[in-house]
Amino acid sequence: MPSATTDGPRYVDGALIPDIQKYGDNPVTIRVTEEELHTGKTRPETVQECLRYFHRDGFVVLENAIDEGLVDRLYNRMVQDNSEFLRRKHMHWNQGASTGNVSQIPPLTPEWLDRDFYANPHMIRVAENILGPKPELRFINSNVACPGGTSRQAVHSDVSHAFPEIPFGLVMNIYLQDSDAQNGVTEVWCGTHNAYPQSEQQVSPGKGWIKKEYLQERAKVKPPVQPKVKKGSICIRDLRLWHAGMPNTSDHHRIRLAVDYFAQWYQCPMTTKLPLSMKKTIEREWEGVSTVGVEWVEGDLNSLDVQFYLNMTQDPSQYLLQTEKGFQDSVGRQTGKYVYDTAKVTEQNYWTPE
């Protein structure tokens, strides 16, 4: 029989040991090779490791996934847009003005809709192995931490409704600059995507904030972190995972895109707007993506005038809409009082070391 060599695949007890570059544990960062970056073809080993840590932690970072030139170009445009967006009447600070945190839709005209951001082949390869074939694109937005923020967000989950106990939706957070604690990289709580039932962990129905006692206990198992994330990285996050926006103490905007995909079987009612002029190109070139959740808009589409719209439930009536009065939820539509996202964050809403 031929003797074993050190070249080629390694196997232990019949299992392939993936030869990929990765580092960290809370969370794990997996680096896409230069060949993968330029060919757009993800190695099976890379997919295997992404799935391994995603299912364990509900969060994994895919580094070197987007060309830095594309990233810098979009970052500069969105910084330019931010000053104009902050003057819009429907603009709303996430969890209060002191956070300096806003949801700003990236430019949606054809020259800015690059596949590498919204249907990145490595991102889709992982997503379809988590959610099933043809994951549905239903949300395009971003989170901007403006310079000078002084307050943090409450630890929360993006989904505050009764949800399945299996992955049904993913948010792809794409960082447009190197990020860490100084410029407000998001605090993440690895492993919380399936640690507790939704009704048990959250402060109240319809509110994704996490109870203080759960924060204190979970931190003993795996504490929250603000990881260092390189620009061009895609953070693949289970929508159920606990996280929190943090203040940006630097003098530059911290921008991360938020692109949400859902499993077909989940039947999410949310839609996202894209220009009709891009329909044929997107459906031809954004391989592996279902556009059933896209609302095609004729004519010019100014992203800064598009009101924030969110509904991650399975019920079409449970949507949030950003208005001049604030976030309108189902309660606000019945009472006329828009009180969603107006509660003050206190020590009861984040972990405090004991």
Question: 172 lies in a domain?
Answer: yes
Domains held by the chain: number = 1
Q: Is the separation of the CB atoms in 46 and 35 below 8 Å?
A: no
Question: 326 lies in a domain?
Answer: no
Name every residue whose Cβ is closer than 8 Å to that of residue 257 and which is 6 or more positions away in sequence.
106, 117, 140, 141, 142, 172, 173, 174, 176
Cα three-residue angle 51-54-58, rounded to 5 degrees: 155
Record the tokens describing residue 330, joined without a space.
């189902």
- Each residue's pLDDT expressed in tens, for the chain with a length of 354 residues: 343 445 778 999 999 999 999 999 999 999 999 999 999 999 999 999 999 999 999 999 999 999 999 999 999 999 999 999 999 989 888 888 999 999 999 999 999 999 999 999 999 999 999 999 999 999 999 999 999 999 999 999 999 999 999 999 999 999 999 999 999 999 999 999 999 999 999 998 778 999 999 999 999 999 999 999 999 999 999 999 999 999 999 999 999 999 999 999 999 999 999 999 999 999 999 999 999 999 999 999 999 999 999 999 999 999 999 888 888 888 888 888 888 778 899 999 999 998
Burial class (CB in 10 A: 0-12, 13-18, 19+), 13: exposed
Question: 74 lies in a domain?
Answer: yes
Question: 309 lies in a domain?
Answer: no
Q: Is the separation of the CB atoms in 235 and 50 below 8 Å?
A: no
pLDDT for the residue numbered 121: 97
Record the tokens describing residue 62, joined without a space.
């895919």
Strand order in the sheet with 326-328: 309-310, 320-323, 326-328
Cis peptide before 27 (omega within 30 of 0): yes
Question: 130 lies in a domain?
Answer: yes
Question: 271 lies in a domain?
Answer: yes
Question: 8 lies in a domain?
Answer: no
Question: 281 lies in a domain?
Answer: yes
Q: Is the separation of the CB atoms in 232 and 65 below 8 Å?
A: yes
The phi, psi pair for 208, rounded to 5°, reads -80, 5
Owning domain of residue 61: 16-301
Largest Cα span, the chain: 79
pLDDT for the residue numbered 3: 39
pLDDT for the residue numbered 5: 46
d(C-alpha 220, C-alpha 285), whole Å: 46
CATH classification at residue 167: 2.60.120.620
pTM here is 0.95
pLDDT for the residue numbered 47: 98
The phi, psi pair for 88, rounded to 5°, reads -70, 140
d(C-alpha 297, C-alpha 301), whole Å: 7
